[in-house]
Amino acid sequence: MLSAVILLVGVSGWLLAEEVASVPEVSSSINVTRQDHQGNVHQIAAHSRKAVRVFVFMTGECPVSRTYFPVLNDLYQAWGANQKDVQLLGVWADVTQTPQDVAGMVKEFAIEFPVLLDRDASLGKALKPTTVPEVFVLDHHGEIAYRGRIDDRFLQLGSRKPAATEDSLKQAVEKVAAGMPILEPVTKPVGCYYELPPIPSPTEATLTFNRDIAPILNANCVVCHREGEVGPFTLTSYMDAAKRARQIAQVVDTKLMPPWKAAQVHGEFEGQRTLTDREIETLKAWAVSDRAEGDAADLPPLPTFASDWVLGEPDLVLEMEEDFEVPAGGADIFRNFVIPYEIPEDKLVATVQFKPGDASVVHHSLLYLDNSGKARAKDKAAAGPGYSTFGGPGFVPSGSIGGWSPGKTPRPLPDGLGRKMQKGADLVMQIHYHPSGKATKDRSKVGIYFVEKPKNEAFAIWTSSLDLDIPPGEEEYKATASYKLPAEVTLLSCIPHMHLLGQQMTATAYLPDGTSQVLIDVPQWDFNWQDEYMLADPLRLPAGTRIEVIASYDNSENNPTNPSSPPQRVTFGEETTDEMLYCFFLVAAKDQSTIPLVVGDVFTQEVLRRSAHRLKMGR
């Protein structure tokens, strides 16, 4: 296969092109979010759950491009309209045309598939296509398996066959879907030149909100910064952004926003929330300019969001049993709500969709399972609905079915995998509330989707260190934890966890063959933005792999989140003033008979660590 990454965008010229496409020198680091002609948001990353992705450079001005619109419509429908293993996306190659222009041409030519807008042409510059139309077929790793023509209807300029005799694109997709090599991975595209007009840098350009800023905000920020969501203000209009331009520039420049704490920013994880360097520079440059609004025709449509359940009606909906009153001010609240449920047998959960009752105060939620009755006892002993903890739920969970953070889209686990939801257990919905300045009430709920055709269970393993003893004033306290796998597993996600002194965490897998791979690196830990990082490409870890976690803590007065002033000695514990070192991993085992072995070993190691900790602390 031709090793490259992703994408395609550009401008078709007025001349016709006959050049043979060459394989470009391309970095594999592209991970961007773009709107299509209808306003829908698409994340484009190297890895994808789709077995095959097809990107087509196209315009409404190139005669050859127009000829293929009906052909592409037919392929789009034959491949399942992007609902199955093949995804087809057009990319409008003329960056000078407005979103309204593009939407008008899509309607005029009855194009049925999504057409991406990318007016800064950063993707096209990365891939360097030569021609419009030109197609790129990517496998799920983001490698280009095929590039070139759609079929052999046009083999040279000015000549057209009555009908195609070789369906190059269709055959390439079939080969990639079947995991077979393509004998001719590069063919000669015939059509219009791919050309870009001069595009000045953000500091040199005359930037406007409608043309340059709104596409960035729509694709990356509006999901949270819209009416009724957790963002403290909306970013859906020109004035929303213009009066906050310097603040926006500051938080994107310091990487506070969008909230993404992992150092991996090249599509290693699903749902990545990051901006490109050019997008950041554009926001900064507009903030120090006159903040022009620009031509209304340049304004893209606002993104569309599902008003109800994204994946359709859930199999089970569980809701808090009563309202919880969130005060106007004060410290953040971590509250656990016990929700009994009844299912006839153990089920595998493919995914969940969490719905905040009042999104303006719900910061994130974690969904635990408890079959011990301990959560019920804590709930009964506490005043009001639920009970409070800091960090964990106050018991050792019997499982988890996931969680939610702002902007997170429900995605089913791949390949018939699911997290076990036990019959006879309780759901413990832990919610992090962030008072907004106005007293309110919350009654959140979660929709649960079971695996339709269960194949295998996804389960949690972890490593931890309870041997924490952080002296007051210590700025760079290091701690480590490790776990050696007794059997082969496939890694699906990582969940780092520390408290308020935590600064950095890295988890690395050391394989038996002597190689190593960083699983997750969080260089700027933020307790308020904990998340589950789902691997875009699940990773096989053989038996004997050692997972090592290294974490650092700052117990000095220079740490703005230090809960103690002056700093005090800090050891392991559940309270705000205590600390933790945990890293959880969602995994699956190809040989299901090894699941009890792995789970039993993980729990045994945790029991031993806790026993040693109690002895050390004299408890």
At 392 the pLDDT is 84
Using DSSP's 3-state secondary structure scheme, residue 189 falls into coil
Quick check: do 309-454 and 457-619 share a fold? yes
Q: What is the pTM of this model?
A: 0.85
The CATH classification of domain 309-454, taken from the options 2.60.120.310, 2.60.120.10, 1.10.10.10, 2.60.40.1180? 2.60.120.310
Whether cis (ω within 30° of 0) applies to the bond prior to 435 is no
DSSP state of 213: I
Instruction: Look at strands 115-116 and 86-92 and give their pairing.
Output: parallel
* Amino acid at residue number 571: T
Distance of CA 537 to the CA centre of its chain: 12
Tens of pLDDT along 246-262?
999 999 999 999 999 99
At 619 the pLDDT is 62
Kindly give the interhelix angle for 277-287 and 245-253, rounded to the nearest 10 degrees: 150
Alpha helices per DSSP H over 344-483: 374-381
pLDDT at residue 197 is higher than 90: no
Q: Supply the mean pLDDT for the chain.
A: 91
At 30 the pLDDT is 66
pLDDT band at 512 (very low <50, low <70, confident <90, very high): very high
| Tokens standing for residue 34 | 């773009």
> How far, in Å, CA of 175 to CA of 517, rounded?
31
Tens of pLDDT along 22-64?
444 344 456 788 999 999 999 888 888 899 999 999 999 999 9
> How far, in Å, CA of 536 to CA of 404, rounded?
18
> How far, in Å, CA of 247 to CA of 245, rounded?
5
* Amino acid at residue number 524: Q
Instruction: Please list, in sequence order, all residues whose beta carbon lies within 8 angstroms of the beta carbon of residue 349, skipping any fewer than 6 positions away.
Output: 401, 402, 418, 419, 420, 421, 448, 449, 450, 451
Per-domain boundaries in the chain: 12-194, 209-298, 309-454, 457-619
Tens of pLDDT along 75-105?
999 999 999 999 999 999 999 999 999 999 9
Q: Give percent of the chain with pLDDT exceeding 70.
A: 95
* Amino acid at residue number 168: S
Q: Which helix (H) or strand (E) holds 363?
A: strand 362-370
Tens of pLDDT along 129-188?
999 999 999 998 889 999 999 999 998 888 899 999 999 999 999 999 999 999 999 999
pLDDT band at 531 (very low <50, low <70, confident <90, very high): confident
Tens of pLDDT along 455-467?
999 999 999 999 9
Using DSSP's 3-state secondary structure scheme, residue 243 falls into coil
pLDDT at residue 231 is higher than 90: no
pLDDT at residue 489 is higher than 90: yes
Instruction: Please list, in sequence order, all residues whose beta carbon lies within 8 angstroms of the beta carbon of residue 43, skipping any fewer than 6 positions away.
Output: 31, 32, 33, 271, 272
CATH architecture classification, 12-194: 3-Layer(aba) Sandwich (3.40)
Classify 457-619 by CATH class: mainly beta
At 29 the pLDDT is 56
Tens of pLDDT along 561-589?
999 999 999 999 988 899 999 999 999 99
